[in-house]
Amino acid sequence: MKRTDAFSTYHPIIGFLYFAFVILETAFFLHPVLLVISFASAMAYSIYLNGRRAVRFNLLMVLPLMLLAAVINPAFNHEGVTILGYIRDNPITLESILYGVAAAAMIGAVIIWFSCYNAVMTSDKFIYLFGRIIPSLSLILSMALRFIPAYKAQIVRIADAQRGIGRDISSGKLSARARSGLSILSVMVTWALESAIETADSMKARGYGLRGRTAYALYRFDGRDRLLLAFMVCGFALLLFAGGVRILSVQYFPAFSVNDTGFGVCLFYVVHAVICNIPLAADIREDFIWRSLRSKA
Amino acid sequence: MALLAVKGLTFTYPDGISPALADIDFEADEGEFVVICGRSGCGKSTLLRHFKTVLAPHGKREGRVYFSGRELSEVGQREQTSEIGFVFQNPDNQIVTDKVWHELAFGLESLGLSPPLIRLRTAEMASFFGIGDWYHRSVFELSGGQKQILNLAAVMAMKPRVLIMDEPTSQLDPIAASHFLATAKKVNDELGTTILLSEHRLEEALPLADRVTVMSRGTIIAEDTPARVGRALMDAGDPMLHAMPAPIRIYLSIEGAAAESCPVTVREGRSYLRERMRGKIADEDRREGARAESRTVDQTNRESAVLLKDVWFRYGKDEPDILRGLSLQVKYGELCCIVGGNGSGKTTALRAISGILKPYRGRVSAGGLNASTATHTELFRQGLGVLPQDAKTMFTRKTIREDMSDLPQSDEESIRRVAALTEIEHLLERHPYDVSEGEQQRASLAKVLLNEPKILLLDEPTKGMDSFFKQKFARVLSKLKAEGAAILMVSHDIEFCAEYADRCALLFDGAVVSEGAPRDFFAGNSFYTTTANRMCGDLFPGAVTAEEVMRRCDARS
C-alpha cells in the first residue's frame, strides 16, 4: 500500500527542482558528513514512501551494489600515502578505502533518491513539465502512454484467438512458433494503423490542428508552492555558495583531509540536513496536523 | 429554419459503382432528436459524416449541406469544431489521451481556451454526466460503457448545438447501451442539444426519438414519428419492418391495414394489447398457454460435448472468485446459450472450456478431454473451435483467403465450402480489415468452420450484427447443429437466444441460477426476458418471441 505523501501534492516544478538539486549535490560533494546526511535522509524518505518494499529494495539491490563499489576502489586504485599493506605487491591505501566508502555512499544515496523521484514524479507530472517546454511533446507522450497498454492487450487477445483455432504460439516447433509470432506482430502494425485512423478522425473532429492550442493541466502553483520554492532556493543558494568558496571541501588524495569543524561549517551541515529532509518534514507536519484534527473531533 | 439540412445530396465513393447516397433530402430542427436506422451498409454513416467537413469522405459529391442556414463549407473549422459534436462507434479508438481529465479537456485545448475556463467546463461536464469521481483515472481502467460516456462528455464540453452519433452503442452490452442512450436523452432534454443518432438497437432508441428516418441503399425510404414510422414501412413493404421493436410489429400484424399510431414502448404495447384482447382470451386459454408445448429435442441419450462440474476460478490467490461452483453440460447437436449480466463469469467460463484459463477446483472437459491439462493442439484435434468477441483478432494475413489457407486443415475445396456457407465468396481477396464489421464476423466464423468444429464456442457473436444478418447467422448455426456439432454461445442478446437456442442458462455470481428450454426459461423470468414476453407474458404465458405472440393473436381474432 502506498502512503499519501504530502510532498507529492506540491506543484511538479517543486518536485523536479528539488530532486534535481539533491541528486546533483549528492553526486558532486564527496564530503563524508554531507553524504551520511543525504544517505540517511534518502533512506528515511524512501521507507516513508514505499514502506516494506523500500526496505527490501535498499537491502537487496542497493546494499550489494554499495559493497561492490567499496571493494572495487581499493582493489584498483593505489593512490594515497597511508599504505596499510600489500596484496600481490599492490599497495592498499587508507585513502583509497575511504574514497571507496564515500563513492559507495554516494551511489547508494543517488539510487535511493531516484527511487523516491520515481514515486513522487509520476508520468503526468513529467509530461506536464515537458509540455511547458514543448507543448506537442506532452500530447505525444500522453498518447503513447495510452497506446502502449492498448497494444499489449490486443496482442494477448490475438494470441488467445489464434489458440482457439489451433495455432498456439506457446507450444509446438520453434520455427512454427516464430512464424506465428511474427505474423501476429505484423497484423498488430495493421491493427495499430487501422485504429489510428479512427483516433485521427476523433482528433480532427475535436479541432486538433486549429491555431492557438492551449495546454491544460491539473496543477496550480499556489501560496504554499511559492513559500516552499523560496525556502528551497535560499537553501540551494547557501549550499552553492559553500561549494563555491570551498568551505565544505574534502580531499582524499594524496592524503585525506577535511575542512575544519568550525561554527560556520556546522551551520552548512544543518542547512544541508534541512534541505535533505524537506519532503519528510512536509509529511511529518501533515501527519501531525491530521492527528491533532482527529483528537479534536 | 432547420439547424442541419441536406438538399439533393448524392455521393459516390471513388471505387463505388453505384452511389452510396442518392439524392438525399434531410432536415433536423433545433432541439430535435432524430434516430436514423437501416441495415448495415445503407449509407447511415456516410450521411452522418457529411455534416462535418473534416470527416466528410472523399468521393464524388453533388448537392448541398447546410448548417444553421449557411452552407457548411462556409462555416469555419473553429465554429464546426465546437458547434457540431461527433461521437464514433468504437469506444476505445476515439480516446486520444491517457487520463480522463485530459480527454475532457482535449477539444477545449484545441479551441485555445484559457486553463481556468477549461477547468470550469470540464468540471461542469464531469458533474452533468456524473463522472466526477473518474476525473483522475486512467482511461484504460474504464469499461467500454464508461469510455463511451467519457467520449460523449468530452464532446459535450465544447457545448455543441448539434450532436451526431454514429452507432455509439454497437460495441456495448445492453445495460451500458441503455445507460448511454438515457444519457443522450438527458443531453437532449436538459441542454436542448439537437441529436442525430444512428442505431441498430431500435427497441431502446426508438422511444427516445422525435423522428425516425429509415434508410435503404442510399435513400431515405421512410421518415416519421416513432409511432407512425411502422405504418410507413408496412406500406412500403420494406423488410426493415422486421427490425422494428416488438410492440410495433405485434400491433401492425394485428391491425393490418387499419393501423395508425403504433405503441412504441412495452408499457404502451401492454395496455393496447390488453384493451384489444379483452374478452377474447378465456381463462381456459391462459391455462392452455401455460402448459405450452416445449420445443426442446429429447437429448437424454446424447453424448455430452462439454461438461463443467463444480468449477471454481479466480485470477489470483487474493482475488475474488469469478466462477463459484459452475456446473454446465452441453450435448452434441444442441445450441446452448449462456445469458447474464456483466461480470457474471460468462466469458470466463468460455475461456475455461477452451483451456486458456485453468480452474483451481472442479473439472472441465471438452470432447472427452480434460480441458485444464490437455494442450490446445489436442483440444483442437477434438474439434474445439472458439469465436472470440472481437472478430479482428482472428486474422493475421493480408487477405481473407491467405488467412484461411494458412490453417493446416484447409484446402481449396474446404475454403470454397465455408465461404459459401458464410456468404463471403466475394470477399476472399480483400484485406480482412477492409471489410465491414459484419463481414469480418462472417469471415472469422468461416475460419473457425474450416476445422469442422464439433464443439463451437461463441462469445457475443451477434454484437453489432443487424437483424438481417442475425437470421442468416442463425441458419448457419442450425446447419452445424444438424451435422451434430455442440454450440455454446455466450450472449447478451436475449431476443436471439429466445428464438434460436435449444437451452438457455442464466449465469449469476459465477454459477447457473436457472436453466431450461427458452420457452420455460424466459416465461419464468419477469424482468430478464424478451420484450414480447414482458409485453404479453400475462396474456400469453410462454410466448417469448414477437412471432409467437402474433400467431396467438391471429388465432384469437
Residue B6 or residue B450, greater confidence:
B6
Instruction: Give the other-Cβ count within 10 Å of A1's Cβ.
Output: 6
Q: Which of residues 9-48 of A touch B (CB under 8 A)?
A: none
| Cell numbers describing residue A52 | 516494506
Burial class (CB within 10 angstroms; exposed 0-12, middle 13-18, buried 19+) of A223: exposed
For chain B, the first-to-last Cα distance in angstroms comes to: 47
**Measured between CB atoms, does A68 come within 8 Å of chain B?**
no
Half-sphere exposure of B234 (CA within 13 A, CB side): 21
* Residues comprising chain B, all counted: 557
Burial class (CB within 10 angstroms; exposed 0-12, middle 13-18, buried 19+) of B301: exposed
Contact B396 A168 (CB under 8 A): no
Task: Work out the pLDDT band at B286, boundaries 50, 70, 90.
Answer: low
Give the largest Cα separation in chain B, rounded.
Answer: 73
Calculate the average pLDDT of chain B. Answer: 87
In the prediction, which pLDDT does A1 show? 38
Contact B118 A166 (CB under 8 A): no
In sequence order, what are the residues at sequence separation of 6 or more whose Cβ sits closer than 8 angstroms to the Cβ of residue B28? B2, B3, B4, B5, B34, B162, B194, B196
Query: What is the C-alpha to C-alpha distance for residues B295 and B288, in angstroms, rounded to an integer?
Result: 16
**Measured between CB atoms, does A285 come within 8 Å of chain B?**
no
Instruction: Give the other-Cβ count within 10 Å of A111's Cβ.
Output: 18
Contact B119 A216 (CB under 8 A): yes
Mean pLDDT of B516-534: 83
Query: What is the C-alpha to C-alpha distance for residues B311 and B78, in angstroms, rounded to an integer?
Result: 57
In the prediction, which pLDDT does A283 show? 92
Residue A274 or residue B420, greater confidence:
A274
B176 close to B151: Cβ distance less than 8 angstroms: no
* CA quadruple B260, B262, B267, B270: dihedral, nearest 10: 70
Query: What is the C-alpha to C-alpha distance for residues A36 and A22, in angstroms, rounded to an integer?
Result: 13
| Least confident window among A236-250, B110-124, B457-471, B496-510 | B457-471
Q: Which amino acid is at A221?
A: F
How many Cβ contacts (< 8 angstroms) between chains A and B? Answer: 173
Query: What is the C-alpha to C-alpha distance for residues B436 and B45, in angstroms, rounded to an integer?
Result: 12
Contact A143 B97 (CB under 8 A): yes
**pLDDT digit string (tens) for B327-367?**
999 999 899 999 887 778 888 898 888 888 889 989 898 88
For B69-225, list the strands marked E by DSSP.
Answer: 70-71, 84-87, 162-166, 194-198, 211-216, 219-224
> Is the alpha carbon torsion for B312, B318, B322, B324 positive or negative?
positive
A127 close to A84: Cβ distance less than 8 angstroms: no
Parts of chain A with a pLDDT under 70? 1-3, 169, 171, 260, 297
Contacts with A160 from chain B: Cβ below 8 Å: 351, 356, 388, 393
Contacts with B354 from chain A: Cβ below 8 Å: 163-164
Selected for mutation to probe chain B from A145, A183, A206, A218 (highest B CB count within 10 Å) is: A206
pLDDT over 70 (residue B292): no
Contacts with A168 from chain B: Cβ below 8 Å: 375-377
**pLDDT digit string (tens) for B206-228?**
999 999 999 988 999 999 999 99
Half-sphere exposure of B272 (CA within 13 A, CB side): 23
Nearest CA of chain B to the CA of A285: how many Å? 26
In the prediction, which pLDDT does B303 show? 78
pLDDT over 60 (residue B296): no
Residue for grid cell 502553483: A221
Query: What is the C-alpha to C-alpha distance for residues A90 and B207, in angstroms, rounded to an integer?
Result: 92
Nearest Cβ partner of B393 from A157, A186, A209?
A: A157
What residues are paired with B37 via a beta bridge?
B214
DSSP B52: S
Q: Which of residues 129-158 of B touch A (CB under 8 A)?
A: 136, 139-140, 151, 154-155, 158
A112 close to A40: Cβ distance less than 8 angstroms: no
What residues are paired with B67 via a beta bridge?
B4, B70
Query: What is the C-alpha to C-alpha distance for residues B386 and B375, in angstroms, rounded to an integer?
Result: 15
Percentage of the residues of chain B whose pLDDT score is greater than 90: 36
User: Which helix or strand (DSSP H or E) is residue B305 part of?
Assistant: strand B304-313
In the prediction, which pLDDT does B473 show? 87
The rounded Cα B139 to chain-centroid distance in angstroms is 23
Query: How do beta strands B361-366 and B369-370 pair?
Result: antiparallel
Query: What is the C-alpha to C-alpha distance for residues B532 and B270, in angstroms, rounded to an integer?
Result: 10
**Measured between CB atoms, does B78 come within 8 Å of chain A?**
yes
**pLDDT digit string (tens) for B112-135?**
999 999 999 999 999 999 999 999
Query: What is the C-alpha to C-alpha distance for residues B493 and B167, in angstroms, rounded to an integer?
Result: 17
3-state secondary structure of B527: coil
SS3 readout for B209-248: CCEEEEEECCEEEEEECHHHHHHHHHHHCCHHHHHCCHHH
Burial class (CB within 10 angstroms; exposed 0-12, middle 13-18, buried 19+) of B395: buried
Contacts with A183 from chain B: Cβ below 8 Å: 396-397, 406
Residue for grid cell 403504433: B262
What residues are paired with B100 via a beta bridge?
none
Task: Work out the pLDDT band at B294, boundaries 50, 70, 90.
Answer: very low
Q: Which of residues 123-142 of A touch B (CB under 8 A)?
A: 124, 139, 142
In the prediction, which pLDDT does A80 show? 85
**pLDDT digit string (tens) for B422-431?**
888 888 888 8
Query: What is the C-alpha to C-alpha distance for residues B280 and B553, in angstroms, rounded to an integer?
Result: 10
Query: What is the C-alpha to C-alpha distance for residues B487 and B334, in angstroms, rounded to an integer?
Result: 6
Nearest CA of chain A to the CA of B78: how many Å? 7
DSSP B322-373: SEEEEEEEEETT-EEEEE--TTSSHHHHHHHHTTSS--SEEEEEETTEETTT
Contact B396 A158 (CB under 8 A): yes
**CA-based nearest residue in chain B for residue A185:** B396
Nearest Cβ partner of B86 from A187, A205, A209?
A: A205
Residue for grid cell 485530459: B102
Nearest CA of chain A to the CA of B39: how many Å? 22
Mean pLDDT of B32-39: 92
In the prediction, which pLDDT does B190 show? 95
Task: Work out the pLDDT band at B62, boundaries 50, 70, 90.
Answer: very high
B522 close to B533: Cβ distance less than 8 angstroms: yes
Instruction: Give the other-Cβ count within 10 Å of B389's Cβ.
Output: 17
Half-sphere exposure of A10 (CA within 13 A, CB side): 22
Q: Which amino acid is at B154?
A: A
Q: Which of residues 181-210 of A touch B (CB under 8 A)?
A: 183-184, 186-187, 190-191, 194-195, 198-199, 201-210
B494 close to B466: Cβ distance less than 8 angstroms: no
**CA-based nearest residue in chain A for residue B98:** A146
Nearest CA of chain A to the CA of B163: how many Å? 12
Backbone angles phi and psi of B92, in degrees to 5: -75, -50
In sequence order, what are the residues at sequence separation of 6 or more whose Cβ sits closer than 8 angstroms to the Cβ of residue B340? B346, B506, B507, B508
